[in-house]
Amino acid sequence: MPQNSEKHGPSRRAVLGAGAAGAAWLAAGSPAAEAQGRQAARQQTPRRGGTLRAVVNANPSTLDPHTGGQGTDHAFLSTMFDKLIDYEPDSLAPIPSLATAWTWPDPRTLVLELRQGVVFHDGTPFDAAAVKANFERMLTHPRSTVKADIAALASVEVLAPDRVALKLKNPDTTLPMVLTDRAGYMSSPKALAERGESYGRNPVGTGAMEFVRWADGNEIVVRRNARYWKQGEPYLDGIVMPIITDATTALRSVRAGQNHISLQVDPQQIPAMRRSADVVLSVKDTMRLQQCYINFSKPPLNDIRLRQAINYAIDRAAYTRVVMGEVGGPAHTHIPPTHWAYDREAASRYPFDPDRARALVREAGFAPGALSVNASYASNQLNAQRIEIISSFLDRVGIKLTSTTGTLTATLQQWREGVGDFRMANWTGRPDPAMTYALLLMPTSAFNIGRAVPSQELIDTITESRTASAPEERKRIFARLLRLERQFALTIPLCFEPDIVALSRRVRNYVPNLAGRSRFEQVWLAG
């Protein structure tokens, strides 16, 4: 059975190297920033102390990792919680964290070897019993948002204080990657029991930082965990995470010297930021992509020819240039080119070919201009621009685009009720690509809005992708899966969004990752 252990993880040197590479990226073209990148690479001895001020764009839904629901929560959670399994920032390959190794003795059992000597911030030891308590809560808590992620889990067996077996109802090899996400964050069982419903406002993990306070909608403050198991870390005395919902305002606060880090910088602001002497930019490709779900259960887009026509009609390179400026890359599948599961053949299925698109529309029985397709999207300036671009491409091949728009919640509900033929929405990616395709295409998933079976072979391949565990075998299965999805043109991938972060010139060792989830716990501040 495949096995992963600590020796397979990156060394500390590799992580620091990634930091230096991060700093070099960071440069992103500006001479001043490049100088900073070089300086950062030279200045590798971390400086201790100081309080980082890192702006996050949304108040967390809760600080209980297993009942929260917002992507931005991870910026807070990763400072206070360790996950059972972590990921390598560039490839997202699993690496040891609270679990030092994991093995599959049989396809329905995942055994985790746990790190010894780790304690939660409240002094409770981290052990197999704590892991069991966390999983049982994830499965039974009425507001658990990770129940679906660990749906395959039947029970947890404590084999030894540092050894635990996860027994599955059915084989699911995505589980190690699931444990790099929300379900992998471990809370103190003592704090969970004592604090009950208020735990989400007063969390206790094993992470580099301890929770201090959460001033709702204002800021979250954490301080150094003196008993942290990673020797010598963290470097910072604490982190203040001001909550500023407006990205432009957040950016201004970094330029004004009030804060050190601002997330989610708009690509349109890159030229202005490069002229600014106060900040450097971190630009890192992520799995987050702009795309459209298709309701392939009802006319007109239940006709494969029309879905293929739309995919041929869009010039993704031009779209990316207009929407993202000088960053980002065209997306032809849901897997970015640097990812291990990427398949070149699947990605080359739909080159920009308006003639082919027009022919397919005609073949489907529609005269030019006779086909009208409705797009659903949440109303904001960026989405409006994106829909305009798509509309102009579709117009050229004789497809008229109408739209249904409103607030995010309103349009989402309408989409669920069957309004719209495709919906423009970002896909944030999942640690394991099998989860992405299962969520997008399985008839049981809320994202397959019409609950239609796109192709039995495709469904079988998705199932197969969750049972195979050998890396080479999985890569072959994913190549087949990606090609099938493209053959049936079940989505409209558009472009990958980079993670753009503005950093004050004092910030060192900010390591962006392919998951696009900002983490601050390794950062240190230059003098």
Partner 1 sequence: MLSRNRWRVVRRRILQAMPTLAIVSFISFIILHIGPGDPALLLAGEFPTEESIAEIRALYGFDRPILVQYASWVWQLLQGDLGRSLQSDEPVLDLILNRLPATLLIVCYAMVIAFVGGSVLGIAAAARRGGAVDRIATGFATLADALPYFWVAMLLVSFLALDWRLFPATGAVPFSDDPIEAIWAATLPAIALSISGIAQITRQLRAAMIEVLDSPFVRTLRAKGLSSRAILWKHGMKNVGVTLITVVGLVFSGKIGGTLLTETVFAIPGTGSALITAAINKDYFVVQGIIMMLSLFVFAVNLAVDLLYAVLDPRVE
Residues lying near partner 1 in the complex (CB under 8 A) are found at 59-62, 68-71, 142-143, 145-149, 182, 197, 200-201, 215-219, 242-246, 249-250, 252-253, 255-258, 406-414, 416, 428, 430, 435, 439, 444-446
99, β-bridge pairs: 114
CA angle in degrees (0–180, nearest 5) for 463-136-4 = 55
User: Of the two residues 85 and 220, which places its CB atom closer to partner 1 in the complex?
Assistant: 220
- Measured from the CB atom, the residue of 202 and 463 that comes closer to partner 1 is 202
Least Å from the CB of residue 216 to partner 1? 5
Q: What is the DSSP letter of 56?
A: B
Our CB check for partner 1 shows the closer of 27 and 254 to be 254
CA distance readout (Å), 162 to 89, 124, 125, 221: 27, 14, 11, 32
| 231 vs 444, beta carbon nearer partner 1 | 444
Q: How far is the CB of 118 from partner 1 (least distance, A)?
A: 27
Residues 6+ apart with CB under 8 A from 487: 349
- Kindly tell me which of 444 and 456 has the beta carbon lying closer to partner 1: 444
| CB within 8 Å of 348: residues ≥ 6 apart | 332
**DSSP reduced 3-state for 399:** strand
- C-alpha closest to that of 101 among 179, 186, 168, 3: 3
| Smallest distance from partner 1 to CB 290, Å | 17
The phi and psi torsions of 89 (rounded to 5 degrees) equal: -60, -35
C-beta of residue 80 within 8 angstroms of C-beta of residue 209? yes
Nearer residue to partner 1 within complex by CB, 74 or 508: 74
- Type of residue numbered 464: E
Comparing CB distances to partner 1, the nearer of 11 and 444 is: 444
Question: CB 446 → partner 1: shortest distance, Å?
Answer: 6
398 token code pair: 């004789």
Closer of 29 and 217 to partner 1 (Cβ)? 217
Alpha-carbon distance of 432 to 451, in angstroms, equals: 22
Cβ 518 vs Cβ 282: under 8 Å? no
| CB of residue 267 to partner 1, shortest distance in Å | 20
Task: Identify the CA nearest to 84 among candidates 72, 102, 108.
Answer: 102
Handedness of CA 504, 510, 511, 516 (dihedral sign): negative
Compute the least distance from the CB of residue 253 to partner 1, in Å. 4
Shortest Cβ distance from residue 73 to partner 1 (Å)? 9
User: Rounded to the nearest whole angstrom, what is the least distance from the CB of residue 407 to partner 1 in the complex?
Assistant: 6
CB 316 within 8 A of CB 330: yes
